[in-house]
Structure 1
Amino acid sequence: MLFYVNALKEKSRVSSLSLVENIGKFQKLRSCARHPNFLNKLKIPQPIAIDLSQQQHKGLAFLYGQGLSQALHLKTWEKFDHFSTYALDPKGTMYLTPMPYISIKEQTFEFQKNIYKLDTNSGNLSVWMTLDEVKAGSNNPYGVIALVYDCTDDTLWVSAIDKTDYRTNRGVIYHIDIKSKKILQRVKGVDALSLALIKSAKGKQLLFGGARENFLYSLDTKTLKVSKLFELPNVHEHIRKIKVRSENVLELQTIPFSYSLIAQTSQGEDRKYYQLKWDGSSVSWELSAK
Structure 2
Amino acid sequence: MAPYRTGKKLGDDRSLLGIVAALLIVAAVAGACTSAAGNVPTAQATATTAKPSQPTLRGTMACRRLPAFTSQLDLSDSAFFGTNVAGHTGLAIADPPANSVLQDDTWDDAGNLGPYVLDGLGNVWTAPVPLTSLEMNPAEQQNKIYRVDTNTAKMVEYVELLPARPPSEFNPFGIVGLTYDCETNSLYAASLMGSTPTEEVGRIFRVDLDDNTASLVMEGKDAMGLGVAEGPDGKRLYYGLARSGDVWSLPLDAAGDAAGDSRLEFSLAALSGTATSDRAQRISVDDDGNLEIKGVEFTYSLRISGQTVPTIYVVHLDGETGKWTFVSAEKQPDLSQEAQQ
Q: Does TM-score exceed 0.5, indicating one fold?
A: yes
**8 Å contact 2:229–2:235 — kept in the other structure?**
yes
Q: Match of 1:288, SS?
A: strand
User: SS in structure 1 opposite 2:106?
Assistant: helix
Deviation at 1:269, TM superposition (A): 4.6
Match for 2:176 among 117, 120, 145? 145
The CA RMSD measured in Å over matched residues stands at 2.6
In the other structure, the counterpart of 1:7 is none
The alignment status of 1:20 with 2:60, answered yes or no, reads no
Q: Secondary structure at the match of 1:76?
A: coil
Q: Is 1:256 paired with 2:297?
A: yes
Once residues 194 and 107 of structure 1 are traced to their aligned partners in structure 2, the CA distance between those partners, rounded to angstroms, is: 21
- CA distance change for structure 1 residues 180 and 15 in 2, over 3 Å: closer, same or farther? farther
Which residue is 1:10 aligned to? none
* Shift in alpha-carbon separation, 1:104–1:112, aligned structure 2, 3 A: same
SS for the counterpart of 2:244 is: coil
Does residue 110 of structure 1 match 2:140? yes
Work out the CA distance in 1 between the residues paired with 2:287 and 2:183. Answer: 20
* 2:228–2:235 contact (8 Å) kept in structure 1: yes
Task: Report what 2:265 is aligned to.
Answer: 229
Alignment equivalent of 1:165, drawn from 196, 199, 213: 196
SS of 2:70's equivalent in the other structure is helix
Closer/same/farther in 2, CA of residues 266 and 252 from structure 1, 3 Å limit: farther
Contact 2:104 2:153 in 1 (8 A): no
CA distance in 2, matches of 1:195, 1:278: 17
Residue 155 in structure 1 maps to residue 186 in structure 2: yes
Q: How far 1:62 moved relative to its partner? A: 1.2
Q: How is 1:60-99 mapped onto 2 (pairs within 5 angstroms)?
A: 60-64=91-95, 66=97, 69-99=99-129
| SS of residue paired to 1:137 | coil
Cα gap change, 1:106 to 1:151, in 2 (>3 Å): closer
Question: What residue number does 2:52 align with?
Answer: none
With normalisation by structure 1, the TM-score equals: 0.84
Do structure 1's residue 289 and structure 2's residue 329 form an aligned pair? yes
SS of the aligned residue for 2:107 comes to helix
- SS of residue in 2 equivalent to 1:78: coil
Structure 2 unaligned residues grouped into runs of 5+: 1-33, 46-54, 254-258, 270-274, 331-341
Match of 1:194 in 2: 225
Cα gap change, 1:289 to 1:154, in 2 (>3 Å):
closer
Aligned to 1:273: 312
TM-score of the aligned structures, taking structure 2 as reference length: 0.73
Structure 1 alignment gaps of length 5 or more = 5-13
Please report how far the alpha carbon of residue 143 of structure 1 lies from its aligned counterpart in structure 2 after TM superposition.
Answer: 0.7
Task: State the SS of the aligned residue for 1:239.
Answer: strand
CA contact (8 A) 2:111 2:137 kept: no
Which whole-Å deviations, capped at 9, do the CAs of 1:131-159 have from their partners, x for residues lacking one? 24363332111111111111111111111
Is 2:142 the partner of 1:121? no
**1:220 paired residue among 242, 247, 251:** 251
Distance 1:48 1:224, change over 3 A: farther
Describe the superposition over 1:92-147 as per-residue Cα deviations: whole angstroms up to 9, x where unpaired.
11110210110122751132021011111111111111124363332111111111
Partner of 1:32: 63
Q: Percent identity?
A: 24
Q: Which amino acid aligns with 1:227?
A: R
Q: 1:198·1:205 contact (CA, 8 Å) conserved in 2?
A: yes
C-alpha contact 1:279 1:286 (8 A) present in aligned 2: no
